[in-house]
Amino acid sequence: MSTLVSRRTALSSTLLATGGAILLAPAAEAAPGDPIKRSDVMDRARNWVNRNVQYDQKATAGGPDGVYRWRTDCSGFVSMALKLGPTGIGCPNTTSLAGSTHSTGIAKADLKAGDYLVRSGVHCVLFQMWGNAAKTTLWVFELGSPSTDMNHRKANLSEFSSYTARRARNIRNG
C-alpha cells in the first residue's frame, strides 16, 4: 500500500510541477537489427525517394527518424529501409546483403514488399510489389548511380536474372 501511495504522491507532484500537463516520454527508437514491419520498410524507402537522396558511396544520410545514418548507395539504401546494422559508411554492402548474416534466400516468385534482389558485389534493389499477375514485372526502389540517384520504377523480372531474392531476418508482416 505504501508503494501505491508514494506513486500517487509522485504523480501528483509531477502534475503540479507541469501545471497539470501529463508529460509522455517519446517512444524509444528501434535500433538497427530490431524487428521491422513490411509497411515500415516501405515508408522508410519512400522517405529517401521523397528526399531524393543523392548517390555517393562516400557519404551518409539519415533515416526518417534522423537517429542513424547509412551510406548513400544501393546497399546503404536497402540497409536503411530494412534498418540493418551496422550503420554509417560501414553499413552492409552488396556482398554481405547476399550472405546469410542479414537474410535468407527465397524464390523470386515469393517476393513480398520489403524483400530485396541482390547481385553480390554489383547492385541491389528493394522489392515493393508485383507489376502483373504473371509476376514478370515488378516495382522496385533503388539508389542506382550518380546519374540516376533515387528511383521508384517498374522493371522486368528478366533484368534481375543474375540476382538472388533475399528476405531480411528482422522483417515482420504488417
Q: Tell me what pLDDT residue 147 has.
A: 83
Q: Tell me what pLDDT residue 146 has.
A: 85
Task: Locate 47 and state its grid cell.
Answer: 522517405
To the nearest whole percent, how much of the chain has pLDDT over 70?
83
- CA neighbor of 60 nearest in space, from 44, 43, 46, 77: 77
Q: Tell me what pLDDT residue 20 has.
A: 52
Q: Which amino acid is at 152?
A: H
Q: Where are the domains of the chain?
A: 30-172
Residue 22's H or E segment, with its range, is none
Q: Tell me what pLDDT residue 148 has.
A: 83
SS3 7: helix
Task: Locate 42 and state its grid cell.
Answer: 516501405
Least confident of 4-18, 112-126, 136-150, 156-170: 4-18
**Residue 46 pLDDT greater than 60, yes or no:** yes
Q: Dump the DSSP string for 109-162.
A: GG--TT-EEEETTTEEEEEEEESSTTS-EEEEEEE--TTT-EEEEEEEGGGGTT
d(CA 113, CA 6): 49
Instruction: Give pTM, 2 decimals.
Output: 0.83
Structure confidence at residue 83 as a pLDDT band (50, 70, 90)? very high
Mean pLDDT of 160-170: 98
To the nearest whole percent, how much of the chain has pLDDT over 90?
76
Model pLDDT for residues 85-137, shown as the tens digit of each residue: 999 999 999 999 999 999 999 999 999 999 999 999 999 999 999 999 999 99
- Residue 163 to residues 8, 32, 107, Cα–Cα distance (Å): 60, 25, 11
Cβ-based neighbours of 51, under 8 Å, separated by 6 or more = 61, 150
d(CA 13, CA 91): 46
Least confident of 6-10, 75-79, 137-141: 6-10
